[in-house]
Amino acid sequence: MCGIAGIACLPGHRPDKAVLQSMARALCHRGPNGEGFYETGSAALVHRRLSIVDLEGGAQPLVQGKLALVANGEIYNDPALRQGLANAPFKTGSDCEAPLFLWPDSDVDYTLQLRGMYAIALLDETGSDSVLTLSRDPFGIKPLYYAQLSCGVIFASEPQVLLATGLTSRAVRPQARDQLLQAQFVAGRETIYPGIMRVLPGETLRFVNGVLDRAKRQPSRSGKIDHSLTEEAALTRLDEALMDSVQAHERADVPFGMFLSGGIDSTAVLAAMTRLGNGAPLAWTARFDAGSVDESASAAETAKVLGAQHRVLTVTEAMVWQDLPRIVSCLDDPVADYAVIPSWFLAREARKDVTVILSGEGGDELFGGYGRYRRAMRPWWRGGRLPWRRGIVDKIVSLETGKQWREVFAPPVEETRLRAVQALDLDEWLPNDLLIKLDRCLMAHAIEGRTPLLDPALSKLAWSLPDTLKVRDGHGKYLLRLWVEKHVPGSAPFAPKQGFTVPVGQWIASKSARLGPLVTNCDAFRGVIAPNVIRGVFDKAEGRRERHAAWALLFYALWHRLHIERTPVDGDVFETLAS
């Protein structure tokens, strides 16, 4: 896990050393263990390292002749790749070195041979042209951004690195702002910053002499439903794929642990970890001091049954008001998902003991866990509807771009409605909300996050399942629940789920008289939302819809203050908003 950045110049331009240094400084939190540069007359690569594999010898950039590479992530099939490249002159034990030897024969298709999470920049100057290739893993676990400029293309692991160069604008796209307020994240290729783009999940972009020449995309899912697949056969395949994935995700030269929510996904990951017999895993669970369903007791029971070392972190309202600016400051690509709060505090706590965390992201999207999937499967006359039809602030706040925020939320064509909404979530919700949240909250504390449920073998299995092995008798993740029932003694995976929530509504309501005027006066909303409308939202913050709207407005006000106005992060919520 690391931070990468760089530039590929147009003819007549050269990399600016001051720009490279500004990128390296902005990446420090992603890589506290080392810094590296690779420069030619037309391009440059920057790397900040968080040492996970080959602690002594795995420094980057990795160079082979006139090929150079910087990478952020883990290649889990590196041992197998090295066996297939027996004659390659490997110089390190880094799991990211193999792509240097895959590239000459495969060009942009080299990523088809990789199993893992990664954002890779590969520079090839073996010919007369300077070729830069940017690649991202199929699920979008690792982030990668770029911007086309008059001098060429710049790229980095985070938008704030590109902003730090002074070559991109700290401005806001109105449609992206409205999408953030309505959906809690920004979807698609374009970020909230004009001109800063995402490399899409599974995408490889090839730039020749600083100009985009070719784009190719590897999907996170493929294949048709296997209607002949029996429940027993599917359960066997799930067991094989899950155990293999968790074993691969445990490969590290540093201590690792996991986040245990008490739900199906993290329970399955923990059960697989303990079956592998590599000691008693460390597991952390968050709870709140008041106002929320407390799953820590059930998580503790699960940990006890499975023999894990379990630790519970209590997040208080006072902690949130004090540290929320620091949480929002790490979300340069904004995610107004209130689950960022426990994620950030858990990462801070876990960093005292480990450098790698496994978590259960991806289980809902692959195996059909969300309630919105079950709603989408119903006919319209039984209340069936597609997701993302209504926004968080609909009928509460009138936004400048109206309903444009919904344009990217059209489900693709699939065999069933369930698969269609799953595909939409895999394309947008997962990479642009959940995985950004995980990446930024953990990297803020120099922790690598790993997601064993997001693995090619598990995805292939999930995409072959009939709908009845995903949703049955009102339960999502039916097959995964069966697996947990079989492998976790005393578990009750089919019991009604209480649901994990963060009591932000209660917290905001208790401080609404103070928060309302502060949010109302923020520059973020000048000419966008009328002051009396914002005050009205906070005055009614005890209401179900109003509390969600109040949180969205509060998050955006803080985000704008920190990332657009560049207010220093040195006070609590109230001091930051009042500054």
Instruction: Convert the pLDDT of each residue in 539-556 to its tens digit.
Output: 998 888 999 999 999 999
Instruction: Convert the pLDDT of each residue in 402-432 to its tens digit.
Output: 888 888 898 888 999 999 999 999 999 999 9
187: phi then psi, degrees, rounded to nearest 5: -95, 170
The parts of the chain modelled with pLDDT lower than 50 are none
Alpha carbon separation from 356 to 66, 273, 443, 445 (Å, rounded): 33, 14, 10, 11
Cα Dmax for the chain: 70
Tokens for 121?
């920049």
Q: What is the pTM of this model?
A: 0.96
Domains of the chain, residue spans: 2-217, 231-374+428-487, 504-578
- Bridge partner residues of 118 (DSSP): 73
The span from the first CA to the last CA of the chain, in angstroms, equals 35
Q: Which CATH number does the domain 2-217 belong to among 1.10.1200.120, 3.30.70.920, 3.30.565.10, 3.60.20.10?
A: 3.60.20.10
Q: In a 10 Å sphere around its CB, with 0-12 CB exposed, 13-18 middle and 19+ buried, how is residue 10 labelled?
A: middle
Distance between CA atoms of 36 and 30, rounded to whole angstroms? 13
How far is Cα of residue 126 from the mean position of the Cα atoms in its chain? 34
DSSP string spanning 81-126?
A: HHHHTTTS---S--TTSTHHHHHHHHGGGGGGG--EEEEEEEEE-S
Instruction: Convert the pLDDT of each residue in 210-257 to its tens digit.
Output: 999 999 999 999 889 999 999 999 999 999 999 999 999 999 999 999
Distance between CA atoms of 317 and 265, rounded to whole angstroms? 27
Strands ordered across the beta sheet of 2-9: 34-39, 43-49, 2-9, 152-156, 145-149, 197-198
CA triple 382-383-388, angle to 5 deg: 150
Alpha carbon dihedral 507, 509, 514, 520, in 10-degree steps, equals: 110
Distance between CA atoms of 310 and 223, rounded to whole angstroms? 39
Look at residue 386 in the predicted model and tell me its pLDDT.
82
101: phi then psi, degrees, rounded to nearest 5: -100, -15
Q: What topology does CATH give the domain 231-374+428-487?
A: Rossmann fold (3.40.50)
210: phi then psi, degrees, rounded to nearest 5: 85, 0
